[in-house]
Structure 1
Amino acid sequence: MDPLPTPQTQPGREGLAALLAQPRTALVGLDFDGTLAPIVPDPEQARAHPDAVPALAELAPKIASVAVITGRPAEVAVRYGGFDGVPGLEHLTVLGHYGAERWDAATRTLTAPAPHPGVAAVRAELPGLLERSGAGAGTWIEEKGRAVAVHTRRAADPQAAFEALRGPLTDLAARHGLIVEPGRLVLELRPPGMDKGVALLDHARAAGAGCVVYAGDDLGDLPAFAAVDELRKNGTPGLLVCSGSTEVTELAERADLVVDGPEGVVDLLRRLAAQLG
């Protein structure tokens, strides 16, 4: 196994050193789409990288906790990830809908609050809005239970469709008490107060994490990056990893370590597990 890559920042190097020195206090947080699973044209066809579960099963018993933090429903992430019933993943938690839902591998139980009523209202209005906008051709709606998303990746000009819809969707969300979360050619309408930073901080505190690693690929991961920065300011070492892509550069600019997409993330997990013996 090749040696671990060296983070490009001093805080990142300190975070990695802390994990290696005291792995039993370490929390590893991971986004799903674009980080553990390659981005695909149809999100319903997304699946974890074939080596992701074996790598996680090798690493998880050696650290305090692994948390997959995603905008997807927790049950969907568990199913698409293939996480259920895997020996070695007993310390895995899936925080779905940005932490509103929680699935624990040890008990195989899912906990979730009631959905926000604004989601149903937005869902009913979206088809008409897309038709009126003129950006409807090639755009499509993804049902996410506690949120709803509009994808433009299949449009003739995906970026133009994304920009044309951003304002109207923001207005629609606001009328129903929701917010818009932009991503990689997708605009998600969801309740406020839910983000990956809040989910990561809550989980880190509950786990008593002595160091935190977080890997993500998209704008929705920026709050989790900010959460790690906050933890570091308060004395908890951390490492920020970007699952690199050409579609989102802001995360790469903020990261301590940039790897080559989900394959690079999986390779990093395997190297960490090997290093910990």
Structure 2
Amino acid sequence: MRFPTREGQDRYDAIVRVAPRTVVGLDFDGTLSPIVEDPAQAHIHPDAAQVLVELAQEVAAIAVITGRPARQALDLGGLEEVGDALEAAGKELFVFGQYGNERWSSGRRRIMGGRPPRGLATFERDLPRALRTAGAADAYVEDKGLAVAVHTRRLADPDGAFDRLLPPLRELAHRHGLVLEPGRAVIEVRSPGSHKGLVVDRLAAVLDAEGFVFAGDDLGDVEAFEAVAALGEQGLATLRVCSASNEQSALIDLSDVVVRGPDGVLDLLRTLAGDARVRRLG
């Protein structure tokens, strides 16, 4: 665990002081699960369930906020079982899928979601031609129901294919009234007007939070980091955690603490749970 500045350490200490009124938000891929070539195999870190249950004893709520469909996150993370454990402890687990377009909680046990955005079907119709033109016809296309993700990780030159695809897919998304979200060897296209920052704002307000922690690893987490920073300006204790990797460093300059991948995230959450417990017990 590395604090880039003394302010980061101070922010961590402030979170410990208000831990019982703190919401912890976590990205999934690259934060709770390692990045793998096949997105369908991105299972949660083997220690994550235990750490989340321990942390839940000390904080107000835990939320997984991901670009994945909520059902995928629930299955790959075993999060329904985690939710059972949190409910038994009188706490609640929230899962927000597809950047907040889908919602699940351990209290309601039902995925609430919207309809596919206008323009997505015609975007998918035009996508194969765009892939061929960019020399990336073999890119893996993941249909998320409310979004489409184009993965270049399996290609011979994933970085080169990503760079070639970004401009034409951005133009194609714009033409169909959609927005593009670049990530680690993946380009996602979805409806405008939804992002993780809105979920952060909603959770902080609904749960009357006095503190907010968010951990993420990628460009799709920038809005969440910005929303957490805004909460700090409003007087909440806040902590932004970057799950750093060799592939992506976009969040480092926005972070209060930098850790190394899911292992580092879980180490930090263990430490937070332990420090909060010591303070609670006096």
Query: TM-score by structure 1 length?
Result: 0.94
Distance in 2, matches of 1:42 and 1:112, equals 25
Distance in 1, matches of 2:64 and 2:260, equals 19
* Deviation (angstroms), 1:23: 1.4
Name the structure 2 match of 1:42. 38
Q: Helix, strand or coil: the match of 1:62?
A: coil
Cα distance change, pair 6–175 in 1 and its aligned pair in 2 (3 A): closer
- Deviation larger for 82-91 or 169-178: 82-91
Name the structure 2 match of 1:89. 86
Q: Helix, strand or coil: the match of 1:89?
A: helix
Q: Helix, strand or coil: the match of 1:227?
A: helix
Q: Which residue of 9, 12, 15 corresponds with 2:8?
A: 12
Alignment of 1:155-174 (within 5 A): 155-174=155-174
- Deviation larger for 61-70 or 11-20: 11-20
Name the structure 2 match of 1:78. 74
Q: Note if 1:276 corresponds to 2:273.
A: no
Name the structure 1 match of 2:248. 248
* Deviation (angstroms), 1:22: 2.0
* Deviation (angstroms), 1:198: 1.2
Q: Residue type matched to 2:102 in 1?
A: E
Query: TM-score by structure 2 length?
Result: 0.92
Distance in 1, matches of 2:220 and 2:81, equals 28
Alignment of 1:1-277 (within 5 A): 5=1, 7-86=3-82, 87-90=84-87, 91-137=92-138, 139-277=139-277
Give the unaligned 5+ runs of structure 1: none
Q: Output one character per residue of 1:124-171: Cα deviation in whole Å (capped at 9) or x when no partner.
A: 22122212322224x110111110011111122111111111111011
Q: Output one character per residue of 1:102-125: Cα deviation in whole Å (capped at 9) or x when no partner.
A: 100122121112221222221222
* Deviation (angstroms), 1:194: 1.0
Q: Helix, strand or coil: the match of 1:109?
A: coil
Aligned residues: 272
Q: Residue type matched to 1:53 in 2?
A: A
CA RMSD of aligned residues (A): 1.4
- Deviation larger for 93-102 or 118-127: 118-127
Distance in 2, matches of 1:80 and 1:124, equals 29
